[in-house]
Chains A and B, each alone.
Chain A
């Protein structure tokens, strides 16, 4: 190793970070590394943006790439303004689109909520942090408890607004059913 490289490596602390084993480590129950939550957050945000985009314009490689980049940016450095921007983009796409399908609307009801929850979670989680799965499941249970009436309310609102939900009845039923099952099952995971 050349002198300059060695000096840079030594001063950057990279060698320390890579070689040094941890001196103290907690013993947790069913934990996942923090980076998996960041990846999950990126996926949720990217899918949310993609679904929102699909309501306004046809899906093409460039928008898909933009959605992925947006999801990665929000998940890598979650902050309030980035979350505001992502949700704002979703609202803008739906507003400009001039009427999303019932299935897309119900999916966005769930995805936007999940994205905000995921961003709120990842602001507390560093990449190396170990997170007990029960913490995430408790949070998802809270999301599911809100989603069950929200999905039903969304269907009612769309019907009142004059949308025809007969073509999407199975999709609607499956989304509401999934939210209901999640609300019932996730709290039981505590025991």
Chain B
């Protein structure tokens, strides 16, 4: 056994060098994967074909639950616990991975094919130095000896634009930032010079400015070493930057596959078209009417540390005011002051002409009813033990005193308003998708018949495709019900899509405030500029152009 092992290793090593660009590396035929849950086998991937050639990057896109991660892992011959491959072939360089035993497959993993996970912070072992983890599989499979692998790791760190490439490997995972860690993981994946890398949403957890850097360095290194890659994401703009061709998945079926440019300019299927069109969402600015909420000179503090300084915000009736800023800029604290969770230490909040008592306990039931809040994480905003009926029904009962049939009718009506239906009544939050959860939270807020809704980063935890659906819904509801939104976000494209007015906050102060068109008009402060330029666009040349522009600026 040992002898066979070492023999295969040498073959592997030899074959690593043998491939030519354009040779078929991976050929998946009619792959079917099932997962076990709720006492039944469910189809996750339903007969997907995939061909990947050396030196090519394939983008896999789709909503969550489309089977893209399962397919990406299956490309390596791996299935998650509770899943099984029921049919099809996974031919990697002439070997059918589906037929191999785990021990045989393991010989491919970590040297001929590698994986970059979504959450770098959760994927590193906190007890080992980065360089040890970067080179572990390379050294273990005997591709390089320790000193050679370490030297090579430093070269990779440098190629990935990590600061201080000679020494960053000596640090522990918690000593570098999330974006850096994601790049170290890419270096780890590159270290054995694999034939193929699977990137599973590697930039989803990063903020836009970091994302651009990580994307550029990933693309550069994949091109440099002629590696084939599968890039899984739900971000259409990102996939446009990264991939040579794109495969769109839905419900475990392939919807469409085409080279990137062709796919972007001329999508064939209507589902793909609907994905492309959502990026174009942009709200027309409304005329500024009378203020429904006005905050004057608010100071607020958590204990002794002061977080808000003299904040003034005017929110006109029936419009959307977006509050933008980095984390820690006081956006959410402002929301807490408005809702009464954090009474202000100075200043006043006027709502519809009357001053609101600072503390929640002093506000009347009607005042509480008219201001509703939607949270960022729909998962934690709903009690996991309550059904949709209980969640939406409670405010109806509590504020409006609806019971029995009147209540049930209203719940169904609300579900239809958020584009769901009566089948969801008895479901628990854990049985809903991310977008559906957020919709239920919206319905809960609407159940109170509010005038003013605070949306705290409501879309930032969602897939992009789902995000746009939620934004459209919010816009439609605003039109139909005349709602006023205070929309807290750090995402500029969301601001463009939904707001009439923009408030830019920084370190607890309002930096800029005004109509959307005015605020987005240059010149802006440096931070706003960086934010604006880092939002990926659907143009496949965008990243290349941006990098050229930034390089110019530096030189």
Report whether chain A binds chain B: no
| B-binding residues in A (CB < 8 A) | none
